[in-house]
Structure 1
Amino acid sequence: MTLDDIIASLFPDGHEVSNDNGVLHGSATLRSGGTMLVIGIANRTALGVDEAIRLSAHVLKSIGRDSGPILVLVDSDSQRMSKRDELLGLNEFLAHLAKVLIHADMNGRPTIGVLYGHSAAGALLATGLATRVLVGLPGADPAVMDLPSMAKVTKLSMEALQEKAKSTPVFAPGLSNLAQMGAVHMTWSNAASLADQLEALLADMPAAQDRRDALGKQRGGRLKAAEIAERVRDLALQAR
């Protein structure tokens, strides 16, 4: 499905979503009659300081002015790895975007990410993984870190990482692996109405508290994360 097909299937009752050099922004009418803010990154655009601050601004302006959920459509490259972006503090811009989405979600604006193309590294962390719920569409191609980059960081060979990826989702890119780790809440079907699937999700949204670690344990993709997080929380409470 193309981006236009996806938006049309999500919002058959109408939308005003524009694509400005890979940055998506606008609003759309839900089947329930409400209005949804729609932002995102498209055309496998790298997420740099300019894109991040524009997306953040759209969300912040909407918080005090509008109501209703927020949809984040994602088809990006990784973060923009240019000298200019790094010198301007790209890490702070990406963190700002993530915090803005979390702030909106904690203040009555449930956030849903829809990963329909590629995304990787900081761009994925600051968009889809910063929403309360991340949904994947068939054919989506996410990677927190690709194996060649992981090999450089871990100093492990590509052969060793490829072998680990067969049994450990943490070492493997791809939609099914992120779903097994709990990062992707569910995968929608292209064969059914995306509007119906969106309304079903909105009617049964998980609590705002992030429990992706528990979901990863339940699915067998992250067996220790939930337990360790709980132990850290208990120790912090005891130290008060």
Structure 2
Amino acid sequence: MTLAEILAGLFPQGHSVTVRDGLVTGGGAFANGTLHIIGVDGDTPLGVDGALVLSRAVLDAVRAGDRAPILVVVDSDSQRMSRRDELLGLNECLAHLAKALLLADRSGHPTIGLIYGHSAAGAFIATALATRILAALPGANPSVMDLPSVAKVTKLPLDKLQEMAKSTPVFAPGIDNMVATGAVHVVLDPTKPLDGQIRDLITNLQPGDDRDRLGEERGGRPVARGISAAVIAQAGRG
């Protein structure tokens, strides 16, 4: 689905969402209230300027005090790899965006991610993975790091990593692997009304982050939940 199709499905009566330089902001009437929208479209890399624009939109929604849900739509490249962005503190700006989304969620704005295209690396982490629940549409292609980049970092041969990825979802790219690890909670059905599916996700949101539980149940991260529980238990004894 394209962004235009997503917005038409979410807001049959119209909306005020705009896309400028690949950055999505705005909202519309939704389920007897309002749905705020931010995001990245068109496989656009997310740099310092974009991260600050999206952070401002999130913080403006929090200041409005309506506690309306925030949907983060994602079809991005990775973070913008430029000298300017790095010198201006891209890592801090991406972290600021992620923290703004966490603040919004804890301030009563349910945060839902919707990945419908590509996303990778810091841009994926600061948008889609910073929401309380992440949904995907068929055809989405997320990755924390693509395998050629993993090969450069780990110094392992690419063909070896490709073979490992067949049985190790935790670092492998692609929607199926993200579902297996619990990073993606659910894949939506594009043949059904999108507004109803998003409304159901919001209605059934549970407190906290249950990605480790989902990863354990789905077999993609079999030990993460136990390790985190042990760390928390040890910290409580300190």
TM-score interval for Structure 1 and Structure 2 normalised by the shorter chain: over 0.9
Output one character per residue of 1:93-125: Cα deviation in whole Å (capped at 9) or x when no partner: 000000000010011000000001100000000
How many Å separate the matches in 1 of 2:168 and 2:28? 39
How many Å separate the matches in 2 of 1:3 and 1:65? 25
Output one character per residue of 1:22-81: Cα deviation in whole Å (capped at 9) or x when no partner: 010001111x21101111011111000000000001111110214210010000000001
Q: What one-letter code is carried by the residue in structure 2 that aligns with 1:181?
A: T
Deviation at 1:201, TM superposition (A): 1.0
Q: In the alignment, what sits opposite 1:146?
A: 146
SS at match of 1:52: helix
- Give me the TM-score of the superposition, normalised by structure 1: 0.97
Deviation at 1:17, TM superposition (A): 0.3
Please say if residues 164 and 171 of structure 1, whose CA atoms lie closer than 8 Å, have aligned partners that are also in contact.
no
How many Å separate the matches in 2 of 1:224 and 1:156? 24
Output one character per residue of 1:158-195: Cα deviation in whole Å (capped at 9) or x when no partner: 11111111111123100110011000010001111101
Output one character per residue of 1:138-157: Cα deviation in whole Å (capped at 9) or x when no partner: 11010110000001111111
Unpaired segments ≥5 residues, structure 1: none
Please say if residues 48 and 90 of structure 2, whose CA atoms lie closer than 8 Å, have aligned partners that are also in contact.
yes
Q: Structure 1 residue 176 and structure 2 residue 176: aligned? A: yes
How many Å separate the matches in 2 of 1:183 and 1:13? 32
How many Å separate the matches in 2 of 1:171 and 1:165? 7
Please say if residues 16 and 26 of structure 2, whose CA atoms lie closer than 8 Å, have aligned partners that are also in contact.
yes
Count residues with an aligned counterpart.
Answer: 237
SS at match of 1:169: coil
Aligned Cα root-mean-square deviation (Å): 0.8
Q: What one-letter code is carried by the residue in structure 1 that aligns with 2:21?
A: N
How many Å separate the matches in 2 of 1:12 and 1:139? 23
Q: In the alignment, what sits opposite 2:215?
A: 216
How many Å separate the matches in 2 of 1:202 and 1:166? 33
Q: In the alignment, what sits opposite 1:75?
A: 75
Q: What one-letter code is carried by the residue in structure 1 that aligns with 2:53?
A: R
Moved over 6 A (4+): none
How many Å separate the matches in 2 of 1:2 and 1:41? 12
Q: In the alignment, what sits opposite 2:21?
A: 21
- 1:112-151 matched pairs, under 5 angstroms: 112-151=112-151
How many Å separate the matches in 2 of 1:213 and 1:145? 19
Please say if residues 144 and 171 of structure 2, whose CA atoms lie closer than 8 Å, have aligned partners that are also in contact.
no
Q: In the alignment, what sits opposite 1:87?
A: 87
Please say if residues 114 and 134 of structure 1, whose CA atoms lie closer than 8 Å, have aligned partners that are also in contact.
yes
Q: What one-letter code is carried by the residue in structure 1 that aligns with 2:171?
A: F
Q: Percent identity?
A: 54
Please say if residues 74 and 118 of structure 2, whose CA atoms lie closer than 8 Å, have aligned partners that are also in contact.
yes
How many Å separate the matches in 2 of 1:158 and 1:81? 22
How many Å separate the matches in 1 of 2:202 and 2:170? 29
How many Å separate the matches in 1 of 2:200 and 2:12? 15
How many Å separate the matches in 2 of 1:140 and 1:123? 15
SS at match of 2:163: helix
How many Å separate the matches in 2 of 1:28 and 1:135? 20
Unpaired segments ≥5 residues, structure 2: none
Q: In the alignment, what sits opposite 2:199?
A: 199
